[in-house]
Chain A
Amino acid sequence: MRTHSTPADNRRYWALVAVLVLIATVGLGAAHTMEEQGHIVTGMNNRIVWGLPHVFAIFLIVAASGVLNVASIGSVFGKAPYKMRAPLSGLLCIALLAGGLSVLMLDLGRPERVVVAATHYNFTSVFAWNVFLYSGMFAIVAVYLWTLMEKRMQVHSGRLGLAAFIWRLLLTTGTGAIFAFLVARQAYGSALLPLLFIVMSFAWGFAVFVIVQSALNALCGRTLPPELLRRMRNLLGLFVASVLYLCVVLHLTSVYFAHQVPFERFILVDGGIYPALLWWGYVGAGSVLPLLLVFHPRLGSARALLLASLLTIAGAFALLYVFIVGGQAWPLEIFPGYQASSSFADGQIASYVPRLPEWLLGIGGVAIAALIVVVGLRVLPFAPEADVPALPAAATGGD
Chain B
Amino acid sequence: MNTGNGNVDHGRRQVLAWGAAMAGVALAPGVTLFELAQARPPSEPASAKVRWGMLVDVNRCATDCDACVVACDRENGLPETKTATSAQWIRKVELKDLRGGPSKTAPVMCQHCAHPPCVDVCPTGASFKRADGIVLVDRHTCIGCRYCMMACPYQARSFVHEPVTDQKPEVPRGKGCVESCTLCVHRIDRDQIPACVEACAATGHKAILFGDLNDPGSEIAQAIATLRTRALRPDLRLDPGVVYHGL
Instruction: Tell me whether B141 is interfacial, beta carbon within 8 Å.
Output: yes
B73-100 vs A, CB cutoff 8 Å, 1 = contact: the mask equals 0000000001111111001111111110
A107-130 vs B, CB cutoff 8 Å, 1 = contact: the mask equals 011110110110011101111100
For A342, list chain B residues within 8 Å (CB): 91-94, 108
For A117, list chain B residues within 8 Å (CB): 123-124, 143, 145
Instruction: Tell me whether A37 is interfacial, beta carbon within 8 Å.
Output: yes
Nearest opposing residue in chain A for B151, CB measure: A182
Q: For window 129-182 of chain B, which residues contact chain A by CB distance below 8 Å?
A: 141-147, 149-155, 157-163, 174-178
Contact A35 B91, beta carbon cutoff 8 Å: no
With a 10 A CB-CB cut-off, give which of A35, A49, A337 has the most chain B CB atoms. A49
Instruction: Tell me whether A393 is interfacial, beta carbon within 8 Å.
Output: no
Contact B122 A46, beta carbon cutoff 8 Å: no
B194 to chain A minimum Cβ distance, whole angstroms, is 19
Contacting B155 at CB < 8 Å: which of A50, A338, A344? Answer: A344
Contact A38 B98, beta carbon cutoff 8 Å: no
Instruction: Tell me whether A332 is interfacial, beta carbon within 8 Å.
Output: yes
Nearest opposing residue in chain B for A352, CB measure: B84
A341 to chain B minimum Cβ distance, whole angstroms, is 5
Contact A127 B152, beta carbon cutoff 8 Å: no
Q: For window 36-53 of chain A, which residues contact chain B by CB distance below 8 Å?
A: 37-40, 44-47, 49-50
Asked if A46 meets B95 with Cβ closer than 8 Å, knowing A40-B85, A113-B143, A332-B155, the reply is no
Contact A46 B151, beta carbon cutoff 8 Å: no
Instruction: Tell me whether A230 is interfacial, beta carbon within 8 Å.
Output: no
Contact A116 B149, beta carbon cutoff 8 Å: no
Contact A122 B98, beta carbon cutoff 8 Å: no
Contact B150 A182, beta carbon cutoff 8 Å: yes
Contact A120 B94, beta carbon cutoff 8 Å: no
Instruction: Tell me whether A340 is interfacial, beta carbon within 8 Å.
Output: yes
Contact B247 A343, beta carbon cutoff 8 Å: no
Nearest opposing residue in chain B for A178, CB measure: B147
Contact A127 B93, beta carbon cutoff 8 Å: no
Contact B176 A108, beta carbon cutoff 8 Å: yes
Nearest opposing residue in chain B for A185, CB measure: B150
B129 to chain A minimum Cβ distance, whole angstroms, is 12
In the assembly, what is the distance between CA of A89 and CA of B91, in Å? 51
Contacting B236 at CB < 8 Å: which of A127, A184, A337, A344? Answer: A184
For A343, list chain B residues within 8 Å (CB): 82, 88, 91-92
Contact B93 A109, beta carbon cutoff 8 Å: no
Contact B232 A45, beta carbon cutoff 8 Å: no
Nearest opposing residue in chain A for B163, CB measure: A38
For B157, list chain A residues within 8 Å (CB): 46
Contacting B91 at CB < 8 Å: which of A127, A335, A346? Answer: A346
Contact B143 A109, beta carbon cutoff 8 Å: yes
Q: For window 327-349 of chain A, which residues contact chain B by CB distance below 8 Å?
A: 328, 332, 334-335, 337-346
Contact B163 A337, beta carbon cutoff 8 Å: no
B72 to chain A minimum Cβ distance, whole angstroms, is 12
With a 10 A CB-CB cut-off, give which of A38, A44, A47 has the most chain B CB atoms. A38
In the assembly, what is the distance between CA of A340 and CA of B98, in Å? 10
Nearest opposing residue in chain A for B145, CB measure: A108
Contact A121 B124, beta carbon cutoff 8 Å: yes
A333-375 vs B, CB cutoff 8 Å, 1 = contact: the mask equals 0110111111111100011000000000000000000000000
Contact A109 B123, beta carbon cutoff 8 Å: no
Asked if A126 meets B121 with Cβ closer than 8 Å, knowing A46-B159, A49-B146, A110-B144, the reply is yes
Contact A109 B159, beta carbon cutoff 8 Å: yes
For B104, list chain A residues within 8 Å (CB): 338
Instruction: Tell me whether B117 is interfacial, beta carbon within 8 Å.
Output: yes
Nearest opposing residue in chain A for B108, CB measure: A334
For A125, list chain B residues within 8 Å (CB): 120-123, 147
Contact B236 A335, beta carbon cutoff 8 Å: no
Instruction: Tell me whether A131 is interfacial, beta carbon within 8 Å.
Output: yes
In the assembly, what is the distance between CA of A335 and CA of B119, in Å? 23
Nearest opposing residue in chain B for A118, CB measure: B124
Asked if A122 meets B122 with Cβ closer than 8 Å, knowing A35-B176, A346-B91, the reply is yes
Asked if A121 meets B123 with Cβ closer than 8 Å, knowing A37-B162, A109-B159, the reply is yes
Instruction: Tell me whether B233 is interfacial, beta carbon within 8 Å.
Output: yes
Instruction: Tell me whether B19 is interfacial, beta carbon within 8 Å.
Output: no
Instruction: Tell me whether A146 is interfacial, beta carbon within 8 Å.
Output: no
Contact B95 A339, beta carbon cutoff 8 Å: yes
Nearest opposing residue in chain A for B175, CB measure: A38
For B97, list chain A residues within 8 Å (CB): 337-338
Contact A50 B123, beta carbon cutoff 8 Å: no
Asked if A122 meets B85 with Cβ closer than 8 Å, knowing A38-B160, A50-B146, A117-B143, the reply is no
For A37, list chain B residues within 8 Å (CB): 162-163
Contact A334 B162, beta carbon cutoff 8 Å: no
Contact B94 A49, beta carbon cutoff 8 Å: no
Contact A116 B85, beta carbon cutoff 8 Å: no
In the assembly, what is the distance between CA of A341 and CA of B92, in Å? 9
Instruction: Tell me whether B125 is interfacial, beta carbon within 8 Å.
Output: yes
Q: For window 301-347 of chain A, which residues contact chain B by CB distance below 8 Å?
A: 328, 332, 334-335, 337-346
For B161, list chain A residues within 8 Å (CB): 38-40, 44-45
For B143, list chain A residues within 8 Å (CB): 108-111, 113-114, 116-117
Q: Could you list 17 examples of A-B contacts with CB < 8 Å?
A: A38-B160, A45-B83, A110-B176, A110-B177, A117-B143, A120-B141, A121-B125, A122-B125, A124-B119, A127-B147, A128-B123, A131-B123, A332-B155, A338-B97, A341-B94, A342-B94, A344-B93
4 further contact pairs, Cβ within 8 A, besides A38-B162, A184-B151, A342-B108: A49-B150, A109-B159, A125-B123, A335-B247
